[in-house]
């Protein structure tokens, strides 16, 4: 048994999952696992600023940038989960039709306020609006949640009529009703990947933690948290 500890950082989408996985790893390894969860933009900024972490779990694109900049080790990366965007409305609100691309488009045109998140899922949503030719039409109705603030909180307080965020961040929140995922053909899926910090002094232990988190044995747990194990 050892009293050593590993320090990590992740975005809010994987917070609950990694907390549970970290606790399980701690039970069998004896190591203290401390993973701080913040908005993905803030997490990347802290790593870029040189803050030391043994393990970093972020969206694949963000992680690639940190590896290219030398902040994370390129070897030993582990794809941990795929996380899909879902759509929600305030609890008690008549559910709009989101069953098809055209139905979702119509529903957004009748919405007064639309909530969305920072990071890759929010960027993908804005690209969709551009593809529809609605970027300017919807611009004045958009409210972006601050990094680390769930879109669900905007819904629960009726700041927005409809909101988009990863299912893992929406499920289980009070005051909202999750309608489901994006319509067929419009799915927005973010892959979260883990890597070892370049300045880590416990590379082997950090890699062991990532291997544990990526193990097939945790597939059901990932599903319970609204995500899926990567298939490729």
Same domain, 15 and 70: yes
CATH number of the domain at 199, please.
3.40.190.10
For residue 111, tell me if it sits in a domain. Answer: yes
Among 181, 200, 219, the domain-final residue is 181
Query: How many Cβ atoms sit within 10 Å of the Cβ of residue 103?
Result: 13
Residues 157 and 133 in one domain: yes
Q: In this structure, is residue 76 part of a structural domain?
A: yes
**CB contact at 8 A, 70 and 214:** no
Tens digit of each residue's pLDDT (9 = 90 or more) over 119-178: 888 999 999 999 999 999 999 999 999 888 899 999 999 999 999 999 999 998 999 999
The pLDDT value given to residue 3:
55
Secondary structure (DSSP) of 168-210: HHHTT-TTEEEEEEPPTT---EEEEEEEEBTT-S-HHHHHHHH
User: In terms of residue numbers, what domain contains 23?
Assistant: 5-81+191-228
Claim: this prediction has a pTM higher than 0.85: yes
Angle between helices 119-132 and 40-48 (to 10 degrees): 120
Q: Is residue 109 part of a domain?
A: yes
- The pair of structure tokens assigned to 85 is 């965007």
Residues 88 and 177 in one domain: yes
> How many domains are there within the chain?
2
């Amino acid at each position: 048994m050892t009293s050593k500890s590993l320090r990590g950082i992740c975005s809010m989408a994987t917070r609950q999952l990694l907390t549970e996985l970290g606790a399980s790893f701690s039970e069998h390894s004896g190591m203290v696992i401390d993973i701080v969860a913040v908005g993905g933009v803030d997490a990347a900024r802290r790593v870029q600023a040189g803050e030391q972490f043994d393990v970093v779990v972020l969206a694949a694109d963000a992680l690639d940038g940190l590896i290219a900049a030398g902040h994370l080790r390129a070897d030993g990366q582990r794809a941990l989960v795929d996380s899909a965007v879902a759509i929600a409305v305030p609890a008690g609100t008549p559910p709009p039709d989101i069953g098809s691309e055209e139905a979702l488009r119509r529903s957004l045109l009748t919405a007064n306020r639309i909530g969305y998140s920072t990071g890759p899922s929010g960027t993908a949503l804005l690209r969709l609006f551009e593809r529809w030719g609605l970027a300017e039409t919807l611009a004045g109705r958009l409210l972006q949640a601050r990094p680390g603030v769930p879109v669900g909180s905007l819904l629960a307080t009726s700041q927005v009529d409809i909101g988009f965020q990863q299912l893992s961040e929406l499920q289980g929140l009070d005051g909202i009703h999750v309608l489901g995922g994006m319509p067929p053909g419009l799915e927005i899926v973010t892959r979260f990947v883990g890597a070892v910090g370049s300045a880590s002094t416990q590379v082997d232990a950090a890699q062991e933690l990532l291997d544990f988190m990526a193990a097939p044995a945790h597939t059901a747990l990932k599903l319970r948290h609204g995500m899926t194990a990567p298939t490729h």
